[in-house]
Each structure stands twice: as C-alpha cells, then as structure tokens.
A and B are shown apart, each in its own frame.
Chain A
Amino acid sequence: MSAHPVLQVRDLRVHIRTPRGVVRAVDDVSLDVGHAQAVGVVGESGSGKSVMARAVMGLLPPRSGSSGQVLFRGRDLLSLSRKEKTEVWGKRIAMVFQDPGRSLNPVVRIERQVTEGMRRLLGLNRAEARDRALRLLREVGVPDPERRLRSYPHELSGGMRQRVMIAIALACEPELLIADEPTTALDVTVQRQILDLLRRVQRERGMSLILISHDLAVVAGRTDRVAVMYAGRLAESGSTREVFDAPRHRYTQALLETTPTLDHERHTPLRLIPGSLPDPTSPPRGCRFAARCAYAEAACDDLGPRPAAVGPDHHVACANPAHAPAAAEPPTPRTTRAVGGDSLGG
C-alpha cells in the first residue's frame, strides 16, 4: 500500500434493495489508490466493481445503503454534505463511462459539453473555456478540434466520442479519474488507442486512475496495481506485475486460464470454471468462490477468508492459495493471454 493514498476505500459495503431481496453488491472491500498511480479493478458481472466505483462517485441507486469509508485525501466522501460533494465530484474526481454515445447529450454541441464543467466549477469565461477546450481536444488526439467543437455527438465515431468524454473528464484537472469499462463498446484497434491515451494522460498529468474492466488483459499492461473482485468481495490485490506473473487466488488463476489466448491450440477445450455466481441476496458465509473452486477445503466454508499479505504489495483472500513460484527456479516463460474488446450489444 502506498504511503500517501489519494483514495482509501475502507470496509466498504453497498447493499441494494431489490424485489428479490437485498443484494450485497459490495461487501467489505478495502482498496488504496496512491498518488499518480493507475489501479485496475477486474471482475466479471456481479463482482461489484462498477458499484464500488459508483459509491466513490456518489452515484449509487436509490434504495441502496452503504457503510464503511471512502476517504479522498483523508475526507470521507460518504459523509460529506451536498455542497461539499459538489466541490469534489467532477472537479477533483471525474469519471468516464462505458458508452460514450449515451453519456453525451445528443442535442448539444461538443463545445458546450466540454466547457460546461469548467465554466461552472472553475468560473472561466467563454473565451477562456473555449481555449482550454481546444487544448484538451488536442491533448486527447481529436483531429481538427475547431471543427469538432461545432459538431454534435452523432457526427463523431465511437472512438472520437470516447476521446471527447475523456476531455470532459479532464477539463477541471481532476486528481483522480475513474474509467468504468471505457473501451468495452469499442473496436479492438480503437480500444487500443483509448487505452494508450488513458495511460499517457495519467502519466503526463501525474493523475491517479482507476481502470475498471471485465478483461484482465485490458488492465495488465496499463496499471501499476490491480484488484480482482468476485461476487462483491476482493479476491486478490497487489502490484500488477505480481498478480499477473504469480496469481495466488484460485479465482484469478482460473480466470486467466479460461480466457482464450492468441496462442491457444485450436479445437482444444478451454479451461472451464464450473457452476455460476452465488445468489447475490444470500451469498455463502465463507469464500464466495468455494463452490466453483477445484481447491476448496473445509476451511473455505468458514467465515472469511480475510485478505492476507503474501508479498510486499500482494494480498490474497484465499484459504488455500496457489503456491508462489520458487525463487530458485528459472522464471517460466510468460504466456500471453489476450481477448478483444467485448462489445456488449454492439
């Protein structure tokens, strides 16, 4: 864990009331995001990764309750007044969503959408805001920005719209950017461009970044630390290199192995994770992955397991974790795994 975290999520629980019962969407999750650090959050549907991000941004649905703390620069966002919150959200923490088409207002020109936040939150006048919008669009690689300011969202491609969304998020120079599946709706060559862009602006601006994805490969090469979530719990967290080189949680391992790779031998069965997610309204007491885990023991059904340190920056919540590769052995050749951008409904 880094010395001066920008964001500290402490024992966060988010429960959402539904007709079928109370969904424990995020259950006792703690996570740190350091200054100028990029942190990946990975998990399948129902892992709670997006709900956690929404809790940080104060975007929880009605009929939900939360406990724990979300400390941003030491202040608990969950207990701020409405007025104090507007000082933080949009200005010091910004967010980019999955679907740039639906996040932009279709009947408002790009100029007003990019300048809206900075005029209101930073008090810039129209000319200043326009100058800054042009600089931002150039920074995020929008060609011909003068013309683009006059465009409507439908006149831009999906990739260009996501660049505009990133420009809007950067407009007030946030200290933390949360990108929730920012490339899932995009084609693989455009996904590549947007991922490169996010990493570049994060580094150039010394900004902190939370990159949320269902795709392990998306976060692998672009983050400093990574957290793997499963069914509302944190399974494994640590430096990206350690988690990918030596995954210790059985779920992380299984997820890596079930992903089709560019070097998968054809017509050989993919490794399966049997079963399905536990019922989110009544998850098992012990490890939530135990019912699907090939290495489950009696201890896995007991309370816990709690995240325990297995390395200097590597925590695993697993009663029977995978063995770390022995230091004496020569490093095994790393298999490269890859999946393309999974376009939902596209």
Chain B
Amino acid sequence: MLSEAIPLAGSGTAHLRGEDVLLGVQDLVVEYPGRAGTVQAVSKVSFDVLPGETLGIVGESGCGKSTTGRAVLRLERLTAGRITFAGEPLEQAGERRMRTLRRDMQMIFQDPLGSLNPRRPVKDIVVEGLALAGAPADERAAVSADVLAQVGLSGDRFPGMLPRQLSGGQAQRVAIARALALHPRLLICDEPVSALDVSVQAQILNLIEDLKAQHDLTVVFIAHDLGVVRAVSDNVLVMYLGKVCEFADAEQLYDTPAHPYTRALLDSVPLTDPDRGFAGPALEGDVPSPLSPPRGCRFRTRCPLARERCAAEEPQIREVRPGRYAACHFPLPEAP
C-alpha cells in the first residue's frame, strides 16, 4: 500500500468534481506482481464521470487505460484506491453484489469476435445476462429482438447466425446489443472501433452516440485514437505509464493542451495534409519499462521541456489554468 503522504506524479484529486458523480475513482492502484518485479499498471489514478457525460481516456500502450476500465468493473484486483458507483463503494463489495452491479455497468471490448461465445447464435448471446438473472424465455426473446433492432441488426438473417458468420462491425453491434439488454447506466467501451475499417468505425461511433442519447447512458470511452476520442468525448483524461497527465474539456484539451505529453500526442497524429504531414515535432525515444519507471515525472525522459525539478519531484495534478488540470511542473502556456 502506498502512503497517502507521498505525493506522486499524476496523482492528486484537484480535478474531481464532488458529490453528484455516477462513477468516482480515487487514487486507484493496480499492481501485477511478477518474477522481474512488480508492475504498477495504474498508479494513483483519480477521475470522475457525471451522469450523462462521456469521458474519453487516451494514451499509448502500457499507460493503464484499459486496466483502469477493467478495474472499475473489478475485473482486475485492486491494490488500493476507492471506486464509487452511484455513491456505493465498490472496492469492498462482495462478489455477489458485484455481479448485480455489473448489470448497471456494461463493457464492450476491442475484439468483438473474441468477446462473443462462438457456439451460440446471436439471439441467445445478446440476452446471456438476462438468462443469468433468471428471466423467462418469452421475455428474453422479446428483449433479444428489441436490442438487435436497436443496433441495426433487425430482420430474419441475424438472430440465428453464429459469431464467425458476422463481420467485425456486425460483431461489435452484437456486443453493444448484449450490453443494452441489461439497461445499464454506465457503458465502458475499451477500444471499441480500433479493429474496424474506417467506414465501419464511423457507423459504430454514430451508433454509440445515438444509443447514449436514447438511453441516458454515461460512457467511459477508452481509445488510443485521438480523432475518435475527440468525436465522442465531453472530457478527456490523458494517461502515460500508469499516471494521469491531463484532464480537461475535450475541445480545450485538443485546442490548447497544457501537458507536454498531450501536445506530443497531438503532434504525432498524421494529418491528411500533403504539405505538413504532422502538426509538430516528433517525440524522442520509447516508453520506459513499467518495471522501473523514471523517478519524478514519468514522462521526463522523453519530455522536451524537462528540467531538474522534474526528476526530483513528482508533479501533482493541479489547476494550471481555469478548468484545466495537469500533472506538470512546467505546463504549456495557453497561447502557443
């Protein structure tokens, strides 16, 4: 367990918004012990999500974004931290209680085919949750037809199909229908479109947006693609090597990033502009090993602005501009 007294990079709770949140995560730590040492995949991460809001979580591989999403559903063992859902603390909830709560907190995954039972037809897959809850067969059949219609898979063709007969986009629609069947309040989407072609990706993103509005869903949208996250998010959390770098309104974060890592991510996105190619300079080096993350700020080994203080002292999240939260000693100015 980490002592509360030690300030850590990317930790801190200055950006949390009080009581009325649907999902609250405070100082979340997830560790994986291994032979070579313990990896702290998520290191004192805090965020909250208001009802009806979409929070985007972005970052590169190993930043802990997927682990964070899974930890909220307690699909990972929590090492430390507090998670509340609609006011109820989850970290101490028993397995039975979690099973009930998970009906309100549904998740869809990157590999839609891998998340569907290969031997069951689509019409049964989407009501698996209801069957577990003991719903009668006629209710299941009605819900099954209803949710399949909602995700655009109506008609006679789809209900009897097996997952391997579906395209990637159709499989992701089935996964979304399965989540909807339980009337969740929170939908956690872990890279839901990154295995899909661009034209299919747009269909799924529009579908998630439509269903969110129809069902008053609150969404946590985890992705590495900054363009995709921008299209759907109200607020965005940027993570690096298990830590929070920045939290802000999506448009403000993209327009005037405060953390140098956010800036570097945006500058690395290829543009469809034959003259420019990229918006800014490249970032040097690779992500360091999570087994021995840099002391101080974890981004300092690649940061173009790093100074001595960044190695000596870990930055806490603070309000660096009104409404803008970043864990950086030397945040970027508002005007570029």
Contacts and interface: CB of A to CB of B under 8 A. Distances in A.
Interface of A: 44-45, 157-160, 187-193, 195-196, 214-218, 220-222, 240-241, 244-245, 254-256, 258-264, 266-273, 276, 334, 336-346
B268 A262 contact: no
Given A187-B61, A189-B268, A244 B230 contact: no
Contact of B111 (A158, A190, A266, A345): A345
B251 A266 contact: yes
Interface in B240-294: 250-251, 254, 264-279, 282-283, 286-287
Given A187-B61, A260-B202, A336-B273, A214 B265 contact: no
B263 to A, nearest CB: 11
Bin the interface of chain B by size.
35 or more
A338 B230 CA distance: 11
Interface of B: 60-61, 110-111, 167, 169, 194-195, 197-203, 205-206, 209, 224-228, 230-234, 250-251, 254, 264-279, 282-283, 286-287
B198 to A, nearest CB: 5
A220 B198 contact: no
B198 A262 contact: no
23 contacts: A187-B224, A188-B224, A188-B226, A189-B268, A192-B267, A192-B283, A215-B270, A256-B272, A260-B230, A263-B254, A264-B231, A266-B230, A266-B250, A271-B202, A276-B200, A337-B271, A337-B272, A338-B226, A339-B225, A339-B228, A342-B194, A342-B225, A346-B194
Contacts of A263: 254
A95 to B, nearest CB: 21
CB-CB nearest 4 A-B residue pairs: A221-B277, A260-B227, A187-B60, A340-B225
A339 B227 contact: yes
B49 to A, nearest CB: 16
Contacts of A241: 274-275
A266 B226 contact: no
A189 B205 contact: no
A342 B231 CA distance: 16
Given A258-B198, A266-B251, A336-B272, A221 B278 contact: yes
Given A44-B198, A221-B271, A270-B206, A338 B227 contact: yes
